[in-house]
Amino acid sequence: MNIKDILNKVSEHKDLEYTEAKEVFAALFEGDLTPAQSGALLMGLKSKGECADELLAAVEVALGKARLVKDIEGVRIDTCGTGGDGKQSFNCSTAVAFFLADLGYKVVKHGNKAVSSTCGSADVVEALGLPLLKDPEQVKAELEQRSFAFIFAPHFHPAFALIAPIRQELGIRTIFNLMGPLLNPARPTHQILGVARPEYGPLMAKVLARGDVQVAAVVHGAGGFDELTPCGPAQVSLVREGSVKEITLDPQDYGFSRCEPADLTCENKEEALAMQKEVLSGAGPKAIQDMVALNLGLALSLLHSDKDLKECMDMARDAVAKGIKMIES
């Protein structure tokens, strides 16, 4: 690999081939690139727009250095997003994960503490008294105990410590922000994944379709959220057994009332955590309950090929209204 050739290519807004991308990301993770070369690579990819081959190659290199969870089998789902929508919204994906676990589905939630949001998934899990798992060996036991395992990303991806200073110095979105939801070391069979910008949906779906996941949905919600929202129709990329289908999902078609983006926000971490506990107990503002039910319904439809989306939305609405008990166990 000639790094100058790679940098010249991306600077001309040309996509890297899969093998080229695999080689350059292997060099990046090994520390074989200088900080200047690393920064130029990441900026070049961002400027031209990352392609599926580049993102897939980067994910595969990162997973090759991760502490993978190898002792679990069967259906397991992750709920996560890229973040970065700047909405300071309620942490919907974490609430959905808890409701799924309470319904008996195996949830392998991969996440971190807040970076750009009011409250990250790890902040919620910690506040509710559940463990942030740090070793692959802990995951199976947690799944057996409560159908929920929170995989704390920093402890499963030690190679990212080498990349962290570069990302911090750049201070902008790079391909690593897209990689996060694709790096679950428990390799979920099913996934609902939110993206902050509409163009990322088809890109992420293409990568998921070429990976381990069996069924997935990549969503970009109305109002610019990386979740489905009651604010209006959402763009959804459905992945099933290696193929991708683009659909528009309108919450009103499933009985959800419109709301405003401001109805879904939390001003600070304390409010976000209090709201999380309210919603998990079956209470909270209707707009936020509806947002959780929307995303839970879509997740249930991924897990139930025998049920239509309306039936899954009705199941989700009932579950959110009842609240959950798993936090008390």
Check residue 245 and give its pLDDT.
97
Q: Are 68 and 187 in contact (CB under 8 A)?
A: yes
Q: pLDDT category, 326, cuts 50, 70, 90?
A: low
Alpha helices in the chain (DSSP H): 3-11, 18-30, 35-48, 52-64, 92-102, 121-127, 136-146, 153-156, 160-170, 175-179, 200-209, 269-280, 286-303, 309-322
Does 114 score more than 60 pLDDT?
Answer: no
Global pTM value: 0.94
Does 248 score more than 50 pLDDT?
Answer: yes
- Give the mean model confidence (pLDDT) for residues 215-233: 95
Q: What are the phi and psi torsion angles at 243 (to 5°)?
A: -115, 155
What three-state secondary structure class fits 169?
helix
Q: Are 294 and 235 in contact (CB under 8 A)?
A: no
Check residue 117 and give its pLDDT.
54
Check residue 195 and give its pLDDT.
95
Percent of the chain with pLDDT over 90: 81
Does 88 score more than 80 pLDDT?
Answer: no
Check residue 325 and give its pLDDT.
77
CA separation for the pair 114, 116 (Å, rounded):
6
Does 23 score more than 60 pLDDT?
Answer: yes
Does 268 score more than 60 pLDDT?
Answer: yes
CA separation for the pair 296, 302 (Å, rounded):
10
- CATH fold of 77-328 reads Pyrimidine Nucleoside Phosphorylase; Chain A, domain 2 (3.40.1030)
Nearest CA to 181 out of 143, 151, 142 is that of 151
Does 89 score more than 80 pLDDT?
Answer: no
Q: pLDDT category, 172, cuts 50, 70, 90?
A: confident
Nearest CA to 149 out of 108, 121, 120 is that of 108
Nearest CA to 279 out of 290, 270, 294 is that of 290
CA separation for the pair 4, 21 (Å, rounded):
13
Q: pLDDT category, 327, cuts 50, 70, 90?
A: low
- Give the mean model confidence (pLDDT) for residues 79-91: 79
Tens digits of per-residue pLDDT, 3-22?
Answer: 999 999 999 999 999 999 99
Q: Where are the domains of the chain?
A: 3-49, 77-328
Does 118 score more than 70 pLDDT?
Answer: no
Tens digits of per-residue pLDDT, 225-247?
Answer: 999 999 999 999 999 989 999 99
Average pLDDT, the chain: 93
Check residue 281 and give its pLDDT.
95
**Torsion sign (Cα): 240, 245, 251, 255:** negative
Does 1 score more than 90 pLDDT?
Answer: no
Does 116 score more than 80 pLDDT?
Answer: no
Check residue 83 and give its pLDDT.
75
Residues in a beta bridge with 151: 110, 133
